[in-house]
Structure 1
Amino acid sequence: MLEPQSRSIDLPGVELSADLRLPANTRALVIFVHGSGSGRASPRNQYVADVLARRGLGSLLFDLLTASEQRMDNLTGELRFNIPLLARRLINVIDWVGREPEVRALRIGLFGASTGAAAALVAAAARADAVAAVVSRGGRTDLAGPALVRVKAPTLQIVGAQDPLVFELNCQSRRALRCQQALEVVAGATHLFEEPGTLEEVARLAGDWFEKYLLASNPSAGCLPPHTPNG
């Protein structure tokens, strides 16, 4: 297991805590965007980050909210669904990565879970020149709204077979997206992928996607011709 380095990310008006993993000779960095009520210590995201590290992929896990904001959100649940706020934080972190000597040369991918997946897609649309791939785990990608049609980064949505609501919402997002994309359904998995072997499958699928679009010399990425969504 690669031990993360603690980082403090100074952004306009806010300071966020982060964990950075940089395996030897890494050529890409995956920024994790945690979901509702979670944080950088999410055991599921930590597990996926460790698996990616074994593939030579760096990772940055950070808290979208400050400690005081998190306490308020634990009581009200409001900030976790404030997609514009979460996306703005993520965009600022992407810009921060672009300024940091240690990581600025790395290609960037985004791994979003739950509401964090919506923030990831909004940020990918806003920073199309910086974000090269997106993966959603049980994501509320539908909450990205109008930004979906502007996403250019190849996007993989992973959903559990026993998570019918999110599956349907991911299907709606799939019809709206105009980029290279895929929807993978993990057999036997519920929303949090707590069933034996299901999180391992998420990590495998995510690793394959990021290797294809972040590490390949000439990844077959990019937008597909516009189409008219069905339904």
Structure 2
Amino acid sequence: MVSCRARPTLAPRAARARGHGRAVRIDLYQRPAPARYANMISVAGGPHERPRIADRAMVLQQGSKQFVTLGARGQQGILRLPRDAGAMVLFAHGAGSSHLSPRNNSVADVFAAQGIATLLFDLLTPEEAEDRANIFDIPLLAGRVTEAIAWVRHDPRLASLPLGLFGASTGAAAALVAAAETPGQVAAVVSRGGRPDLAGRRLRFVRAPTLLIVGARDHGVIELNQDAAMQLHCKHRLELVEGASHLFTEPGTLQRAADLAVGWFTAHLKTAVPG
């Protein structure tokens, strides 16, 4: 299991990113009081070294993509398994999204290009999704993430791969609760535009290194992520992507979020040992 007691190294304050989608990093390893946030902001970024979202044709040249069905409820998903994959990431979507989302699939292609297998799957069946209360039923959603983890661990192609969770909106809370409940299985978590606050008291039990990515223009969600970060007792960081709103639809911002997520997973999954 990945240790959550690594000593923090604060980011340099010098601006390194250029153009759209720069990320403002807030290092929160030492759980500072909210009044100190302003003193811990620095600009993180740099030239894009990973394949861009637009360069999708080359991503799966040496791998496979297939539609899969999970569990007794028959939830649909898309599995990307690049040749010689070194890690595995489960995507937990939020409200209004699905395994067919072009934006989520574009991000998954970027992961695959870096040798990270991905599973995009629906947390709810179409019938369940019609009841809006289910979208905010975090125990229900977390249970579905846990079931997907078990599905991965029973697939001989995937069972030995270090596992990460990538959540958005309410799916981020579900991913964090699932990580807290399966500490030996999950080696890293990333939340993009997520609501980690909805994980409540389970946040303190998360042991996997956690990255919180929020659009710098998504002001209400920034505060919710700051509050949630204060409850995490593991290695964690909050990144603000400049120019991005909640859905990261602005030019360059989704690419920047994908780069940040890939960097986090690469750093923590490829050195992890599956539980």
TM-score scaled by length of structure 1? 0.89
Secondary structure, counterpart of 2:71 in structure 1: strand
Aligned residues of 1:118 and 1:144 also touching (Cα < 8 A) = yes
Larger radius of gyration: 2
Secondary structure, counterpart of 1:196 in structure 2: coil
Q: Which residue of 1 aligns with 2:104?
A: 45
Query: What do residues 180-221 of structure 1 show as CA deviations (whole Å, max 9, x unaligned)?
Result: 000000000000000000000001000000000011379xxx
Q: Which residue of 1 aligns with 2:65?
A: 4
Alpha-carbon distance in structure 2 between the residues aligned to 1:49 and 1:20: 9
Aligned residues of 1:21 and 1:53 also touching (Cα < 8 A) = yes
Match of 1:17 among 70, 76, 89: 76
Secondary structure, counterpart of 1:159 in structure 2: strand
Aligned residues of 1:34 and 1:42 also touching (Cα < 8 A) = no
Q: Which residue of 2 aligns with 1:68?
A: 127
CA RMSD of superposed structures (Å): 1.3
How many corresponding residue pairs? 212
Q: Which residue of 2 aligns with 1:189?
A: 244
Q: Which residue of 1 aligns with 2:225?
A: 170
Query: What do residues 32-71 of structure 1 show as CA deviations (whole Å, max 9, x unaligned)?
Result: 000112111122211111111111100000011112222x
Q: Which residue of 2 aligns with 1:227?
A: none
Q: Which amino acid aligns with 1:149?
A: R
Q: Which residue of 1 aligns with 2:88?
A: 29
- Tell me which stretches of 4 or more aligned residues in structure 1 moved more than 4 Å: none
Q: CA deviation at 1:4?
A: 2.1
Query: What do residues 112-131 of structure 1 show as CA deviations (whole Å, max 9, x unaligned)?
Result: 00000000000000010000
Query: What do residues 70-119 of structure 1 show as CA deviations (whole Å, max 9, x unaligned)?
Result: 2x23xxx2211111100011111111111111211111000000000000
Label 1:99 to 1:217 Cα distance change in 2 as closer, same or farther (>3 A). Answer: closer
TM-score scaled by length of structure 2? 0.75
Which structure 1 segments of 5+ residues have no match? 219-231
Aligned residues of 1:37 and 1:80 also touching (Cα < 8 A) = no
Q: Which amino acid aligns with 1:120?
A: A
Q: Which residue of 2 aligns with 1:55?
A: 114
Higher relative contact order, structure no. (Cα contacts within 8 Å, ≥ 6 residues apart): 2
Aligned residues of 1:133 and 1:210 also touching (Cα < 8 A) = yes
Match of 2:201 among 122, 146, 155: 146
Report which stretch shifted further, 39-48 or 169-178.
39-48
Aligned residues of 1:125 and 1:152 also touching (Cα < 8 A) = yes
Percent identity of paired positions between Structure 1 and Structure 2: 52
Which structure 2 segments of 5+ residues have no match? 1-58
